[in-house]
Each structure stands twice: as C-alpha cells, then as structure tokens.
Amino acid sequence: MITILAGGTGSVKLVRGIATQTRDISVISNVGDNYWLYGLYICPDIDTILYGLADILDTDKGWGIKKDTYGFLRQMEVLGEETWFNIGDRDAAIHLLRTNMLKNGKNLSDITEWMCRKFAIDVKIIPVTDNSVETRIVTNKGDLHLQEYWVKYKGQDKVEGIKYIGADKARANPAAVNAIHDSKLVIIAPGNPLTSIGPILSIKGIRKELSKSKKKVVVVSPLIGNTAISGPATKYMEAAGMEVSVYGLAKMYSEVASHMVIDTADRLLTRKIENLDMKVYETKIRMKDKKDEEALASFILKQVHV
C-alpha cells in the first residue's frame, strides 16, 4: 500500500498520477481549511481529491466540479448574502449531504467513506482527524480563517504567522495512523507546506507515526527555485521565518522524511539537503497535464528506494 499526505490543488495532481500506477492507495487529507458557510460544512481538500479521482474535477480552476452551474450562489446574492466563496450547484449538494450526515451523528471519516462509494472510488480518502482543526492566518490586521484570508480578501494583508486551532487536542484518525504504519511508501504531496501539509503534521499522533516511519517517507517539493509552483507557499514560508528554497523545505520535513524529490533546476542544493540525512532525487516536477502527472508518479515509484 502507498499512503499520500495531501492538501491543496497541487496534491490532487500527484494523487491522480499515482492512481494510474496502483489502486492500493490511501490518501490522508488535510482538514484545516474546512469551513462553515451558509450553514454548510465545506471540506475543500477532501472534495478536491474526491472530484479528481472521480474525474469530475474542474481542472481549469483546480477545484470544484467541471461544468457546474451557479444558480444557488446567484440566489444567495439576490437575498443579500456574501458570495465570495464560489460554490457550484452540484458542489452544494455534496456540502448539504455532508452537513446533514454530521447533524445525524456520522463523523467525517464515515461520511467520506460513504462518498467514495457513491463516486465508485476505490482509493481510501481518510480525513487526518474527525476533530475540528482550523488553520488561521495571523495578519497585521488580525487573524482570519484561511479561506477568508486567501479567498475573501485575496491574500492582501501581510502575514505574521499561522496557527492551527484545535490541533493540540485533535485525535489522529486511527485509520490514518494505521495507513502510515502499514504502507511500503509514504508520500508527502507537493501541497503548500504550511497550510496544506502543516495542519496534518501539527497533529501529534500523525507526526509521531511519520517520525517512526521516516525511512519510507518521501517529500515532493512544491517549489522550483524560490517560487511556488502554485499558490502562496512562499509568502507563508517567509512569515514563518523559513528559507524559501527546497533546502528550507528539507529542514522543515527532515524530522518526518528521509527522501526528497526536487526539480532538476534545484540540483545545486542536492548536496546541502543530503547533509540533513535525506536522499535526494532530481526530475521534472511541474505537472501541467495528466502525462506529467503519470511521469512524476512513475519516477517516484521506480526511483525512490526505501
């Protein structure tokens, strides 16, 4: 079995690529950017993996359902509600069902498993915890939920820090811990290190199991040079006092991983990363299409020896 730690739009590309090579996969999903809106419980990272594996993801945007309509959102606007979070009609149906199931006593793990069956997905999608964890961005104007900071206010304010509210008390999903333990390879997908992967690592049970299993853990870089392939990773890294480079990433991940895949453009940092006791693999990591996704997945499975 292969386990992938995933969050954000970069992760789903690698998950899809790995799924073309094997179906014996578990995906541990970030829940830190889950958000309550209009009385609905929205799980962006879980849904992106769900839609990606079901082949209904809007790949142009990297999230949501392709060819979705927006009658619900237009009606909310008519009624005077804020409409900064772009929820499609089919997407809203997923959020509504999830919310009703939560209110009827189901936990997020059970609901996600049910949704996988409904979409005929044989890959296991595992929320990292069934407890509430909320990623909050500390800015010079106060702190905001990640969705508010990045979507509503378009990341305009200066970032001074990042907090994972509830992570210290959250219980790691036993299925996630078991997946890490039982896997022959654990991949940390190229998600934003602080807002997509960071909330997963902030949960003690997950971090402890990864540390024990680090010899079989490989990180895929979300950076090329000092630039993120997508999203605001560099902005968050700077706020956290991290060096914005694959070496800075390697230092962050060195406690939980012993392998790292970087782009060939960063090969000058290979020896420096290896001094952290991490084995480095160099290849083209940018995934512009499904061919690239499959190529990177194939490279990882063939070249990374644990």
The predicted-structure confidence for 169-189, as pLDDT tens digits, reads as follows 999 999 999 999 999 999 999
Report, as ranges of residue numbers, the positions in the chain whose pLDDT lies below 50.
none
Report the pLDDT value the prediction gives residue 126, as an integer from 0 to 100: 98
The C-alpha atoms of residue 253 and residue 276 are separated, in whole angstroms, by 10
Report the pLDDT value the prediction gives residue 141, as an integer from 0 to 100: 85
Report the pLDDT value the prediction gives residue 9, as an integer from 0 to 100: 87
> Among residues 182, 186, 145, 165, which one has the least CA distance to residue 28?
186
